[in-house]
Amino acid sequence: MHGRPPGEDILSTRQEFVKKQAAAATRLARATGAPIVVADRLQCFTDLATTSARAGADVPGVCRYWLGDRTFADGDLCATEATDALIALVERLGARHRSVIVEGGSISLLRELAARRTELSWRLSVRLLSPPGRDEYVAALARRAREMLAPQAPGHSLLEELAALWREPRQRLFAASVNGFEAVLECCAKYALDVESLDRQPLSEHVRDRMAALIAERHAEHGFLQHRVFSEIFDSRIAGFGFDGFEGFDGDPLEGAA
């Protein structure tokens, strides 16, 4: 943070599966009293809360902030704009708190943040959480995908969010780029399902199971890619630029996760 002693850090914690990263960030926030900033481009969209796994606003004792409150009508949030918003929010919170936790996040956003590391006026301490074994990971993601396809009321399902987005032709390219939506669109093509009315069509258990399995596979692929990319971005070679390891967080990184 600009003008702050070297010991006053911005802490970054992440995990591939959003519920896991949120659980880790929540435990760290409770231990330190620091606010959380979610470094995720998709979770900015309030009308895609199920698909993006945007949650945690009402967790007791934790203050969690997103990069904005957008709707899909606003269009995609590019990495440059997202990074600008992240840095501004961290600096604003850092003026009132000794530390800020950055939870996440999007590969493109954190690449951009790392590229600006020499310009940062604060020190970033990174804790990279390793993914679980593939079978365990995919199984957890599949369970979560089934919940997203048929959530408890009053939440909207992933299918409802996709159908609403697809009814806006200008937003279809954006929709097709979103993890989860991409897998469902592939199933729609395979089973001749109309995307615009997807939320109103009766789907067989076979189709729902196939959607959940494909969503899980795609999220797992993305999760392992995130871990590889973040390992390269936040390796020991950049310690000289103000990045260092954070060793003050103990506990099972999967605790409280799905």
> What is the pLDDT, as a whole number, of residue 18?
55
The Cα 140–Cα 168 span in angstroms is 32
Q: Is the pLDDT of residue 100 over 70?
A: yes
Which is more confident, 203 or 132?
203
CA–CA separation, 185 and 20 (whole Å): 26
Strand pairing report for 64-65 and 243-245: unpaired
Hey, how many other C-beta atoms are within 10 angstroms of the C-beta on 43? 26
185 compared with 62, residue with greater pLDDT: 185
pLDDT of residue 170: 92
- Whether residue 233 is predicted with pLDDT greater than 80 in this model: the reply is yes
Hey, how many other C-beta atoms are within 10 angstroms of the C-beta on 204? 9
Domain residue ranges of the chain, discontinuous segments joined by +: 9-130+225-245, 134-220
Per-chain mean pLDDT for the chain: 82
According to the model, what pLDDT value does residue 19 have? Answer: 61
d(CA 255, CA 15): 12
Cis amide bond preceding 105, omega within 30: yes
Bridge partner list, 9:
123
pLDDT given for residue 162 in this prediction: 97
Supply the pLDDT for residue 81: 96
Please name the fold of domain 134-220.
Answer: Helix Hairpins (1.10.287)
Q: Is the pLDDT of residue 196 over 70?
A: yes
Assess whether pLDDT exceeds 70 at residue 72.
yes
**Given this structure, which CATH class describes domain 9-130+225-245?**
alpha beta
State the Rg of the chain over Cα: 19
Please give the residue that has the higher pLDDT: either 21 or 101. Answer: 101
pLDDT of residue 2: 37
pTM: 0.79
Least confident of 74-88, 193-207, 236-250: 236-250
Lowest mean pLDDT among 16-20, 72-76, 165-169: 16-20
Strand (E) or helix (H) holding 36: strand 36-38
